[in-house]
Structure 1
Amino acid sequence: MMSITTYIYEDLKARLSSDEELPVQLTLESLADFYEVSFSPVRSAVDQLIKQGYLEKGEDRRLTPKATRKRSSKISDAALPAPPQDMYEVIANNLVRLSLDGEAIDLREEATAKQYGISRSALRIIFNRLAGAGLIEHIPRRGWRLRPFRQKDLQAFLEVRELLELKALELAQPHLIEDDLRKILAGNILPASENDLPKIDNTLHAYIIEKGDNVYIQDFFQRQGRYYDILFNWEELDRDAAIETVEQHQAILNALLAKDWPAARNALSYHIQNNHPVLSKIRPKTES
Protein backbone atom coordinates (compact mmCIF):
# COMPACT_ATOMS: atom_id res chain seq x y z
CA MET A 1 0.00 0.00 0.00
CA MET A 2 1.47 3.35 -1.04
CA SER A 3 2.52 5.61 1.84
CA ILE A 4 1.81 9.34 1.74
CA THR A 5 5.56 10.02 1.39
CA THR A 6 5.79 7.71 -1.64
CA TYR A 7 2.69 9.30 -3.15
CA ILE A 8 4.14 12.82 -2.80
CA TYR A 9 7.46 11.65 -4.21
CA GLU A 10 5.87 9.94 -7.24
CA ASP A 11 3.47 12.83 -7.89
CA LEU A 12 6.19 15.50 -7.73
CA LYS A 13 8.55 13.40 -9.85
CA ALA A 14 5.91 13.09 -12.58
CA ARG A 15 5.24 16.83 -12.47
CA LEU A 16 8.94 17.74 -12.48
CA SER A 17 9.47 15.47 -15.50
CA SER A 18 7.19 17.65 -17.64
CA ASP A 19 7.45 21.20 -18.96
CA GLU A 20 4.15 22.21 -17.36
CA GLU A 21 4.27 24.71 -14.56
CA LEU A 22 3.94 23.26 -11.08
CA PRO A 23 0.58 24.00 -9.41
CA VAL A 24 2.33 25.24 -6.27
CA GLN A 25 5.55 26.94 -5.16
CA LEU A 26 8.46 24.70 -4.26
CA THR A 27 8.54 25.36 -0.54
CA LEU A 28 7.87 22.89 2.24
CA GLU A 29 5.00 25.04 3.49
CA SER A 30 3.31 25.35 0.07
CA LEU A 31 3.76 21.65 -0.68
CA ALA A 32 2.38 20.65 2.72
CA ASP A 33 -0.69 22.82 2.07
CA PHE A 34 -1.09 21.39 -1.45
CA TYR A 35 -0.96 17.76 -0.29
CA GLU A 36 -2.79 18.53 2.98
CA VAL A 37 -0.14 16.88 5.15
CA SER A 38 2.47 17.85 7.74
CA PHE A 39 6.02 18.88 6.81
CA SER A 40 7.49 15.45 7.60
CA PRO A 41 6.35 13.41 4.54
CA VAL A 42 6.99 16.41 2.27
CA ARG A 43 10.53 16.79 3.59
CA SER A 44 11.22 13.08 3.08
CA ALA A 45 9.89 13.16 -0.50
CA VAL A 46 11.87 16.32 -1.32
CA ASP A 47 15.09 14.79 0.07
CA GLN A 48 14.63 11.79 -2.25
CA LEU A 49 14.01 14.04 -5.24
CA ILE A 50 17.15 16.04 -4.48
CA LYS A 51 19.25 12.86 -4.22
CA GLN A 52 17.88 11.59 -7.55
CA GLY A 53 18.48 14.86 -9.36
CA TYR A 54 14.93 16.10 -9.84
CA LEU A 55 15.36 19.05 -7.50
CA GLU A 56 18.29 21.14 -6.36
CA LYS A 57 18.74 23.39 -3.37
CA GLY A 58 20.45 26.73 -3.94
CA GLU A 59 22.76 28.64 -1.61
CA ASP A 60 19.73 30.45 -0.25
CA ARG A 61 18.21 26.96 0.40
CA ARG A 62 15.45 27.61 -2.14
CA LEU A 63 14.25 24.61 -4.12
CA THR A 64 14.27 24.65 -7.91
CA PRO A 65 13.79 21.98 -10.59
CA LYS A 66 17.06 20.55 -11.88
CA ALA A 67 17.77 22.53 -15.04
CA THR A 68 19.68 19.77 -16.85
CA ARG A 69 16.96 17.12 -16.70
CA LYS A 70 15.05 16.22 -19.87
CA ARG A 71 11.34 16.85 -19.66
CA SER A 72 8.31 15.75 -21.63
CA SER A 73 6.08 18.47 -23.07
CA LYS A 74 2.88 17.49 -21.26
CA ILE A 75 1.67 15.50 -18.33
CA SER A 76 -1.54 13.49 -18.37
CA ASP A 77 -3.73 12.64 -15.43
CA ALA A 78 -2.94 8.99 -16.09
CA ALA A 79 0.74 9.71 -15.48
CA LEU A 80 0.02 10.96 -11.96
CA PRO A 81 -0.21 8.41 -9.15
CA ALA A 82 -3.52 7.89 -7.40
CA PRO A 83 -3.57 9.25 -3.84
CA PRO A 84 -3.16 6.57 -1.17
CA GLN A 85 -6.32 5.18 0.34
CA ASP A 86 -7.54 6.72 3.56
CA MET A 87 -7.14 3.74 5.87
CA TYR A 88 -9.65 5.19 8.32
CA GLU A 89 -12.32 5.10 5.59
CA VAL A 90 -11.28 1.63 4.42
CA ILE A 91 -11.38 0.14 7.91
CA ALA A 92 -14.55 2.01 8.89
CA ASN A 93 -16.41 0.74 5.82
CA ASN A 94 -15.28 -2.83 6.41
CA LEU A 95 -16.32 -2.69 10.06
CA VAL A 96 -19.72 -1.30 9.10
CA ARG A 97 -20.30 -4.39 6.98
CA LEU A 98 -19.35 -6.61 9.91
CA SER A 99 -21.52 -4.55 12.26
CA LEU A 100 -24.54 -5.13 10.03
CA ASP A 101 -24.33 -8.87 10.84
CA GLY A 102 -25.44 -7.89 14.32
CA GLU A 103 -22.64 -9.66 16.19
CA ALA A 104 -20.33 -8.09 18.79
CA ILE A 105 -16.96 -9.14 17.35
CA ASP A 106 -13.70 -8.80 19.28
CA LEU A 107 -10.99 -7.05 17.26
CA ARG A 108 -7.34 -7.88 17.88
CA GLU A 109 -4.83 -5.13 17.16
CA GLU A 110 -2.00 -7.35 15.93
CA ALA A 111 -4.15 -9.38 13.53
CA THR A 112 -6.06 -6.35 12.25
CA ALA A 113 -2.90 -4.30 11.68
CA LYS A 114 -1.39 -7.20 9.72
CA GLN A 115 -4.60 -7.55 7.69
CA TYR A 116 -4.39 -3.93 6.50
CA GLY A 117 -0.63 -3.73 6.26
CA ILE A 118 -0.21 -0.91 8.77
CA SER A 119 1.55 -0.57 12.12
CA ARG A 120 -0.23 -1.22 15.40
CA SER A 121 0.33 2.39 16.44
CA ALA A 122 -1.35 3.62 13.24
CA LEU A 123 -4.20 1.17 13.77
CA ARG A 124 -4.61 2.29 17.39
CA ILE A 125 -5.08 5.88 16.23
CA ILE A 126 -7.80 4.74 13.79
CA PHE A 127 -9.46 2.58 16.45
CA ASN A 128 -9.54 5.50 18.87
CA ARG A 129 -11.27 7.62 16.22
CA LEU A 130 -13.78 4.84 15.55
CA ALA A 131 -14.38 4.47 19.29
CA GLY A 132 -15.08 8.19 19.46
CA ALA A 133 -17.62 7.71 16.66
CA GLY A 134 -19.23 4.83 18.54
CA LEU A 135 -18.50 2.12 15.97
CA ILE A 136 -16.25 0.16 18.34
CA GLU A 137 -15.54 0.27 22.05
CA HIS A 138 -12.40 -0.32 24.07
CA ILE A 139 -12.67 -3.10 26.64
CA PRO A 140 -9.97 -2.67 29.35
CA ARG A 141 -7.39 -5.49 29.27
CA ARG A 142 -9.33 -7.21 26.48
CA GLY A 143 -8.94 -5.02 23.42
CA TRP A 144 -11.62 -3.68 21.10
CA ARG A 145 -15.18 -4.79 20.38
CA LEU A 146 -17.33 -3.99 17.36
CA ARG A 147 -20.71 -2.41 18.04
CA PRO A 148 -23.45 -4.61 16.52
CA PHE A 149 -26.15 -2.99 14.41
CA ARG A 150 -29.70 -3.24 15.75
CA GLN A 151 -32.85 -2.19 13.89
CA LYS A 152 -34.50 -1.11 17.14
CA ASP A 153 -31.52 1.16 17.93
CA LEU A 154 -31.75 2.74 14.47
CA GLN A 155 -35.47 3.41 14.83
CA ALA A 156 -35.02 4.83 18.34
CA PHE A 157 -32.28 7.14 17.07
CA LEU A 158 -34.40 8.32 14.13
CA GLU A 159 -37.35 9.12 16.41
CA VAL A 160 -35.23 11.32 18.67
CA ARG A 161 -33.34 12.78 15.70
CA GLU A 162 -36.59 13.83 14.05
CA LEU A 163 -37.83 15.64 17.16
CA LEU A 164 -34.57 17.46 17.75
CA GLU A 165 -33.80 18.33 14.12
CA LEU A 166 -37.30 19.73 13.57
CA LYS A 167 -36.84 21.83 16.70
CA ALA A 168 -33.46 22.98 15.38
CA LEU A 169 -35.13 23.98 12.10
CA GLU A 170 -37.71 26.04 13.99
CA LEU A 171 -34.96 27.84 15.92
CA ALA A 172 -32.82 28.27 12.79
CA GLN A 173 -35.46 29.91 10.58
CA PRO A 174 -34.51 33.56 11.34
CA HIS A 175 -30.82 32.78 10.86
CA LEU A 176 -30.79 30.90 7.57
CA ILE A 177 -28.78 32.60 4.81
CA GLU A 178 -30.01 32.30 1.23
CA ASP A 179 -26.52 32.10 -0.30
CA ASP A 180 -25.64 29.24 2.08
CA LEU A 181 -28.78 27.33 1.12
CA ARG A 182 -28.16 27.84 -2.60
CA LYS A 183 -24.58 26.60 -2.22
CA ILE A 184 -25.78 23.41 -0.50
CA LEU A 185 -28.48 22.97 -3.14
CA ALA A 186 -25.86 23.28 -5.90
CA GLY A 187 -23.91 20.45 -4.25
CA ASN A 188 -26.83 18.01 -4.55
CA ILE A 189 -26.86 16.93 -8.19
CA LEU A 190 -28.83 14.13 -9.81
CA PRO A 191 -26.98 11.95 -12.34
CA ALA A 192 -27.14 13.16 -15.94
CA SER A 193 -27.22 9.60 -17.31
CA GLU A 194 -27.46 5.99 -16.16
CA ASN A 195 -23.68 5.80 -16.10
CA ASP A 196 -23.23 8.83 -13.85
CA LEU A 197 -23.40 8.95 -10.07
CA PRO A 198 -25.32 11.53 -8.04
CA LYS A 199 -23.41 14.10 -6.02
CA ILE A 200 -24.47 14.56 -2.41
CA ASP A 201 -23.86 17.50 -0.11
CA ASN A 202 -24.88 16.34 3.36
CA THR A 203 -24.01 19.58 5.14
CA LEU A 204 -27.67 20.67 5.27
CA HIS A 205 -28.29 18.84 8.56
CA ALA A 206 -25.22 20.25 10.31
CA TYR A 207 -26.11 23.70 8.97
CA ILE A 208 -29.63 23.56 10.43
CA ILE A 209 -28.29 22.34 13.79
CA GLU A 210 -25.62 25.06 13.84
CA LYS A 211 -28.10 27.83 13.01
CA GLY A 212 -30.52 26.47 15.61
CA ASP A 213 -27.86 27.35 18.20
CA ASN A 214 -29.12 25.05 20.96
CA VAL A 215 -26.21 23.44 22.82
CA TYR A 216 -28.30 20.48 24.02
CA ILE A 217 -29.44 19.60 20.49
CA GLN A 218 -25.85 19.99 19.26
CA ASP A 219 -24.60 17.74 22.07
CA PHE A 220 -26.99 14.94 21.11
CA PHE A 221 -25.81 14.88 17.50
CA GLN A 222 -22.15 15.19 18.45
CA ARG A 223 -22.32 12.24 20.87
CA GLN A 224 -25.01 9.99 19.39
CA GLY A 225 -24.93 10.89 15.71
CA ARG A 226 -21.39 9.88 14.79
CA TYR A 227 -22.06 6.15 14.62
CA TYR A 228 -25.10 6.66 12.41
CA ASP A 229 -23.24 9.17 10.23
CA ILE A 230 -20.81 6.36 9.38
CA LEU A 231 -23.71 3.99 8.61
CA PHE A 232 -25.53 6.60 6.51
CA ASN A 233 -22.38 7.43 4.52
CA TRP A 234 -21.91 3.71 3.83
CA GLU A 235 -25.55 3.41 2.77
CA GLU A 236 -25.13 6.21 0.22
CA LEU A 237 -22.65 4.07 -1.71
CA ASP A 238 -25.84 2.47 -3.06
CA ARG A 239 -26.75 4.46 -6.19
CA ASP A 240 -30.53 4.31 -5.72
CA ALA A 241 -30.24 5.35 -2.08
CA ALA A 242 -27.96 8.22 -3.07
CA ILE A 243 -30.46 9.44 -5.70
CA GLU A 244 -33.23 9.43 -3.10
CA THR A 245 -31.02 11.46 -0.78
CA VAL A 246 -30.37 14.09 -3.46
CA GLU A 247 -34.06 14.37 -4.34
CA GLN A 248 -35.08 14.75 -0.71
CA HIS A 249 -32.34 17.30 0.00
CA GLN A 250 -33.54 19.31 -2.99
CA ALA A 251 -37.12 19.25 -1.71
CA ILE A 252 -36.07 20.53 1.72
CA LEU A 253 -33.78 23.22 0.31
CA ASN A 254 -36.28 24.50 -2.25
CA ALA A 255 -38.90 24.82 0.49
CA LEU A 256 -36.42 26.69 2.70
CA LEU A 257 -35.50 29.05 -0.12
CA ALA A 258 -39.20 29.73 -0.72
CA LYS A 259 -39.64 30.28 3.04
CA ASP A 260 -42.40 27.71 2.96
CA TRP A 261 -41.79 26.52 6.50
CA PRO A 262 -44.56 23.89 6.72
CA ALA A 263 -43.35 22.31 3.46
CA ALA A 264 -39.73 22.40 4.66
CA ARG A 265 -40.73 20.79 7.95
CA ASN A 266 -42.68 18.04 6.19
CA ALA A 267 -39.87 17.42 3.70
CA LEU A 268 -37.28 17.20 6.49
CA SER A 269 -39.46 14.85 8.53
CA TYR A 270 -40.05 12.60 5.51
CA HIS A 271 -36.33 12.59 4.72
CA ILE A 272 -35.32 11.56 8.24
CA GLN A 273 -37.86 8.73 8.48
CA ASN A 274 -37.70 7.40 4.90
CA ASN A 275 -34.14 7.89 3.70
CA HIS A 276 -32.73 4.51 4.69
CA PRO A 277 -33.85 2.00 2.05
CA VAL A 278 -30.75 -0.14 2.55
CA LEU A 279 -30.39 -0.11 6.33
CA SER A 280 -34.11 -0.57 6.98
CA LYS A 281 -34.08 -3.88 5.05
CA ILE A 282 -31.13 -5.34 6.92
CA ARG A 283 -32.02 -7.97 9.48
CA PRO A 284 -28.91 -8.93 11.47
CA LYS A 285 -28.46 -12.61 12.22
CA THR A 286 -29.29 -12.09 15.88
CA GLU A 287 -32.64 -10.50 14.93
CA SER A 288 -33.67 -12.97 12.23
Structure 2
Amino acid sequence: MAGHVNSLHDQVAQQLRDQIFAGALSPGAFVDESRLCEQLAISRTPLREALKVLTAEGLIRHEPRRGCFVNEVTEKDLDEIFPVIALLEGRCAFEAALHAGDADLQALEVLHEQLQQSAKQGLIPAYYAANYAIHEAIIAVAGNKWLAQVIGDLRKILKLARLQQLNAPGRLTQSLEEHMAIFAALKAGDAQGAEAAMRTHLTRQREALRQLAKQQHSRVAKPAAEHDTQKVMT
Protein backbone atom coordinates (compact mmCIF):
# COMPACT_ATOMS: atom_id res chain seq x y z
CA MET A 1 0.00 0.00 0.00
CA ALA A 2 2.81 2.39 0.92
CA GLY A 3 4.47 1.65 -2.42
CA HIS A 4 1.28 2.67 -4.22
CA VAL A 5 1.10 5.99 -2.32
CA ASN A 6 4.78 6.69 -3.07
CA SER A 7 4.39 5.94 -6.75
CA LEU A 8 1.26 8.12 -6.92
CA HIS A 9 2.89 11.18 -5.35
CA ASP A 10 5.96 10.64 -7.57
CA GLN A 11 3.65 10.66 -10.60
CA VAL A 12 1.92 13.79 -9.34
CA ALA A 13 5.31 15.47 -8.75
CA GLN A 14 6.31 14.70 -12.36
CA GLN A 15 2.99 16.04 -13.69
CA LEU A 16 3.52 19.28 -11.75
CA ARG A 17 7.11 19.53 -13.00
CA ASP A 18 5.84 19.14 -16.56
CA GLN A 19 3.28 21.91 -16.01
CA ILE A 20 5.93 24.21 -14.52
CA PHE A 21 8.45 23.61 -17.31
CA ALA A 22 5.76 24.00 -19.98
CA GLY A 23 4.71 27.33 -18.45
CA ALA A 24 1.21 26.14 -17.50
CA LEU A 25 2.25 26.98 -13.93
CA SER A 26 4.30 30.12 -14.47
CA PRO A 27 7.01 31.59 -12.17
CA GLY A 28 5.40 33.31 -9.20
CA ALA A 29 2.03 31.61 -9.78
CA PHE A 30 -0.07 30.49 -6.81
CA VAL A 31 -0.50 26.70 -6.64
CA ASP A 32 -4.25 26.18 -6.32
CA GLU A 33 -4.50 22.85 -4.50
CA SER A 34 -8.27 22.45 -4.94
CA ARG A 35 -8.05 23.05 -8.70
CA LEU A 36 -5.11 20.65 -9.08
CA CYS A 37 -6.84 17.91 -7.08
CA GLU A 38 -9.82 18.23 -9.41
CA GLN A 39 -7.68 18.45 -12.55
CA LEU A 40 -5.51 15.43 -11.64
CA ALA A 41 -8.37 13.48 -10.01
CA ILE A 42 -6.44 12.93 -6.76
CA SER A 43 -6.86 13.63 -3.05
CA ARG A 44 -4.95 16.26 -1.06
CA THR A 45 -2.51 13.73 0.47
CA PRO A 46 -0.53 12.75 -2.68
CA LEU A 47 -0.65 16.36 -3.90
CA ARG A 48 0.84 17.69 -0.67
CA GLU A 49 3.51 14.97 -0.70
CA ALA A 50 4.35 15.95 -4.29
CA LEU A 51 4.55 19.62 -3.31
CA LYS A 52 7.02 18.72 -0.54
CA VAL A 53 9.21 17.01 -3.16
CA LEU A 54 9.08 20.05 -5.47
CA THR A 55 9.79 22.39 -2.54
CA ALA A 56 12.89 20.34 -1.69
CA GLU A 57 13.96 20.61 -5.36
CA GLY A 58 13.54 24.39 -5.29
CA LEU A 59 10.76 24.51 -7.89
CA ILE A 60 8.08 25.46 -5.35
CA ARG A 61 8.25 27.68 -2.28
CA HIS A 62 5.87 27.43 0.67
CA GLU A 63 4.75 30.60 2.42
CA PRO A 64 3.11 30.15 5.87
CA ARG A 65 -0.61 30.98 5.87
CA ARG A 66 -0.46 31.80 2.15
CA GLY A 67 0.24 28.46 0.49
CA CYS A 68 2.59 27.32 -2.27
CA PHE A 69 3.95 29.35 -5.20
CA VAL A 70 6.08 28.46 -8.22
CA ASN A 71 9.58 29.74 -7.57
CA GLU A 72 11.10 32.58 -9.57
CA VAL A 73 14.77 32.51 -10.52
CA THR A 74 16.54 35.85 -10.14
CA GLU A 75 19.76 37.14 -11.69
CA LYS A 76 21.36 36.70 -8.25
CA ASP A 77 20.29 33.04 -8.26
CA LEU A 78 21.92 32.56 -11.66
CA ASP A 79 25.11 34.26 -10.47
CA GLU A 80 25.25 31.80 -7.58
CA ILE A 81 24.20 28.64 -9.47
CA PHE A 82 26.41 28.87 -12.56
CA PRO A 83 29.79 28.78 -10.75
CA VAL A 84 28.58 25.73 -8.82
CA ILE A 85 27.29 23.85 -11.87
CA ALA A 86 30.48 24.78 -13.75
CA LEU A 87 32.51 23.12 -10.99
CA LEU A 88 30.28 20.04 -10.93
CA GLU A 89 30.05 19.53 -14.70
CA GLY A 90 33.77 20.27 -14.95
CA ARG A 91 34.40 17.42 -12.53
CA CYS A 92 32.12 15.20 -14.64
CA ALA A 93 34.17 15.98 -17.73
CA PHE A 94 37.35 15.18 -15.74
CA GLU A 95 36.01 11.76 -14.71
CA ALA A 96 34.55 11.08 -18.17
CA ALA A 97 37.97 11.66 -19.76
CA LEU A 98 39.41 8.99 -17.46
CA HIS A 99 36.63 6.45 -18.07
CA ALA A 100 35.57 6.93 -21.71
CA GLY A 101 35.94 3.83 -23.87
CA ASP A 102 35.81 3.53 -27.67
CA ALA A 103 32.04 2.95 -27.68
CA ASP A 104 31.47 6.03 -25.50
CA LEU A 105 33.59 8.20 -27.80
CA GLN A 106 31.81 6.85 -30.90
CA ALA A 107 28.42 7.74 -29.37
CA LEU A 108 29.71 11.22 -28.52
CA GLU A 109 31.06 11.57 -32.07
CA VAL A 110 27.54 11.04 -33.46
CA LEU A 111 26.09 13.62 -31.05
CA HIS A 112 28.76 16.16 -31.96
CA GLU A 113 28.03 15.65 -35.67
CA GLN A 114 24.37 16.43 -34.90
CA LEU A 115 25.48 19.49 -32.95
CA GLN A 116 27.60 20.72 -35.87
CA GLN A 117 24.79 20.17 -38.38
CA SER A 118 22.29 22.02 -36.19
CA ALA A 119 24.71 24.95 -35.78
CA LYS A 120 25.49 25.04 -39.51
CA GLN A 121 21.76 25.20 -40.36
CA GLY A 122 20.97 27.62 -37.52
CA LEU A 123 18.47 25.16 -36.00
CA ILE A 124 18.52 26.36 -32.40
CA PRO A 125 15.92 23.90 -30.95
CA ALA A 126 17.81 20.97 -32.54
CA TYR A 127 21.09 22.41 -31.21
CA TYR A 128 19.63 22.62 -27.69
CA ALA A 129 18.52 18.98 -27.96
CA ALA A 130 21.95 17.75 -29.11
CA ASN A 131 23.66 19.96 -26.51
CA TYR A 132 21.53 18.46 -23.73
CA ALA A 133 22.19 14.92 -24.97
CA ILE A 134 25.96 15.57 -24.95
CA HIS A 135 25.92 16.89 -21.38
CA GLU A 136 23.84 13.87 -20.30
CA ALA A 137 26.21 11.47 -22.09
CA ILE A 138 29.27 13.00 -20.39
CA ILE A 139 27.57 12.69 -17.00
CA ALA A 140 26.73 9.05 -17.77
CA VAL A 141 30.30 8.24 -18.87
CA ALA A 142 31.67 9.86 -15.68
CA GLY A 143 29.62 7.28 -13.76
CA ASN A 144 29.45 9.31 -10.56
CA LYS A 145 25.88 9.03 -9.23
CA TRP A 146 26.38 11.80 -6.64
CA LEU A 147 27.53 14.31 -9.25
CA ALA A 148 24.64 13.26 -11.49
CA GLN A 149 22.13 13.78 -8.69
CA VAL A 150 23.29 17.26 -7.70
CA ILE A 151 23.65 18.43 -11.31
CA GLY A 152 20.14 17.12 -12.02
CA ASP A 153 18.72 19.15 -9.12
CA LEU A 154 20.47 22.35 -10.23
CA ARG A 155 19.39 21.82 -13.82
CA LYS A 156 15.75 21.77 -12.71
CA ILE A 157 16.23 25.25 -11.23
CA LEU A 158 17.92 26.50 -14.40
CA LYS A 159 15.11 24.98 -16.50
CA LEU A 160 12.64 26.93 -14.36
CA ALA A 161 14.33 30.14 -15.56
CA ARG A 162 13.55 29.22 -19.21
CA LEU A 163 16.99 30.33 -20.35
CA GLN A 164 17.76 31.00 -24.02
CA GLN A 165 21.49 31.76 -24.03
CA LEU A 166 21.91 30.82 -27.72
CA ASN A 167 19.93 33.93 -28.69
CA ALA A 168 22.88 36.11 -27.65
CA PRO A 169 24.78 37.40 -30.73
CA GLY A 170 27.58 35.01 -31.76
CA ARG A 171 26.77 32.55 -28.98
CA LEU A 172 25.83 29.62 -31.25
CA THR A 173 29.26 29.59 -32.94
CA GLN A 174 31.05 30.14 -29.63
CA SER A 175 29.11 27.32 -27.94
CA LEU A 176 29.98 24.90 -30.75
CA GLU A 177 33.69 25.75 -30.47
CA GLU A 178 33.52 25.15 -26.70
CA HIS A 179 31.87 21.77 -27.20
CA MET A 180 34.46 20.69 -29.76
CA ALA A 181 37.23 21.68 -27.31
CA ILE A 182 35.62 19.55 -24.58
CA PHE A 183 35.29 16.61 -26.99
CA ALA A 184 38.90 16.93 -28.17
CA ALA A 185 40.08 16.72 -24.55
CA LEU A 186 37.84 13.68 -23.92
CA LYS A 187 39.24 11.89 -26.99
CA ALA A 188 42.77 12.66 -25.85
CA GLY A 189 42.05 11.35 -22.35
CA ASP A 190 43.06 14.80 -21.05
CA ALA A 191 41.08 14.96 -17.80
CA GLN A 192 42.34 18.39 -16.71
CA GLY A 193 41.81 19.83 -20.20
CA ALA A 194 38.25 18.45 -20.33
CA GLU A 195 37.49 19.90 -16.90
CA ALA A 196 38.84 23.35 -17.82
CA ALA A 197 36.99 23.37 -21.18
CA MET A 198 33.68 22.41 -19.53
CA ARG A 199 34.06 25.08 -16.85
CA THR A 200 34.77 27.67 -19.55
CA HIS A 201 31.68 26.49 -21.45
CA LEU A 202 29.37 26.95 -18.45
CA THR A 203 30.95 30.27 -17.45
CA ARG A 204 30.42 31.65 -20.94
CA GLN A 205 26.79 30.51 -20.87
CA ARG A 206 26.29 32.78 -17.86
CA GLU A 207 28.04 35.66 -19.64
CA ALA A 208 25.75 35.21 -22.67
CA LEU A 209 22.68 35.25 -20.43
CA ARG A 210 23.90 38.42 -18.70
CA GLN A 211 24.37 40.03 -22.12
CA LEU A 212 20.83 39.06 -23.14
CA ALA A 213 19.38 40.42 -19.88
CA LYS A 214 21.12 43.77 -20.50
CA GLN A 215 19.74 43.92 -24.05
CA GLN A 216 16.22 43.15 -22.84
CA HIS A 217 16.52 45.76 -20.10
CA SER A 218 17.69 48.34 -22.67
CA ARG A 219 14.74 47.53 -24.96
CA VAL A 220 12.30 47.97 -22.07
CA ALA A 221 13.98 51.15 -20.78
CA LYS A 222 14.15 52.82 -24.22
CA PRO A 223 10.37 52.90 -24.97
CA ALA A 224 9.75 54.09 -21.39
CA ALA A 225 12.25 56.93 -21.86
CA GLU A 226 10.69 57.84 -25.22
CA HIS A 227 7.24 57.87 -23.61
CA ASP A 228 8.48 60.21 -20.85
CA THR A 229 10.02 62.52 -23.47
CA GLN A 230 6.74 62.68 -25.36
CA LYS A 231 4.89 63.57 -22.15
CA VAL A 232 7.33 66.42 -21.52
CA MET A 233 6.96 67.68 -25.10
CA THR A 234 3.16 67.69 -24.90
Residue aligned with 2:39, SS: coil
Residues 108 and 137, structure 2, Cα contact 8 Å, conserved in 1: no
Q: Report the equivalent of 2:186.
A: 256
Q: Report the equivalent of 1:118.
A: 39
- The structure whose RCO (Cα within 8 Å, separation 6+) is larger is 2
Instruction: Report the Cα offset of residue 154 of structure 1.
Output: 1.3
Q: Does 1:282 align with 2:203?
A: no
Q: Report the equivalent of 1:198.
A: 126
Instruction: Flag the 1:151–1:178 CA change in 2: closer, same or farther, 3 A.
Output: farther
Residues 235 and 279, structure 1, Cα contact 8 Å, conserved in 2: no
Q: Does 1:92 align with 2:92?
A: no
Q: 2:100 aligns with which of 173, 176, 187?
A: 176
Q: Report the equivalent of 2:163.
A: 235
Relative to its length, the structure with more helix (as a share) is 2
Q: Deviation per CA, 1:106-165: give whole Å up to 9, x if none.
A: 332345x59xx9346399498667545422134566432121212122121111222233
Q: Report the equivalent of 2:225.
A: none
Instruction: Flag the 1:154–1:186 CA change in 2: closer, same or farther, 3 A.
Output: same
> Could you tell me how far apart the structure 1 residues matched to 2:97 and 2:203 are?
21
Q: Of the two, which has the highest radius of gyration?
A: 1
Q: 1:151 aligns with which of 62, 69, 75?
A: 75
Q: Deviation per CA, 1:12-57: give whole Å up to 9, x if none.
A: xxxxxxxxxxxxxxxxxxxxxxxxxxxxxxxxxxxxxxxxxxxxxx
Q: Report the equivalent of 1:136.
A: 60
Q: Equivalences for 1:24-39 in 2 at 5 Å? A: none
Instruction: Report the Cα offset of residue 90 of structure 1.
Output: 4.7
Counterpart amino acid of residue 22 in structure 2: N
Instruction: Report the Cα offset of residue 268 of structure 1.
Output: 0.9
% identical equivalent positions: 19
Counterpart amino acid of residue 146 in structure 1: V
Residue aligned with 1:155, SS: helix
> Could you tell me how far apart the structure 2 residues matched to 1:235 and 1:165 are?
18
Q: Equivalences for 1:15-26 in 2 at 5 Å? A: none
Could you list the runs of 5+ residues in structure 2 that have no partner in the other structure?
1-14, 222-234
Residues 162 and 272, structure 1, Cα contact 8 Å, conserved in 2: yes
Instruction: Report the Cα offset of residue 221 of structure 1.
Output: 2.3
Could you tell me the TM-score, scaled by structure 2's length? 0.58
Residues 100 and 141, structure 2, Cα contact 8 Å, conserved in 1: yes
What's the C-alpha RMSD, in Å, of the aligned pairs? 4.3
Instruction: Flag the 1:197–1:227 CA change in 2: closer, same or farther, 3 A.
Output: closer
Q: Does 1:266 align with 2:190?
A: no
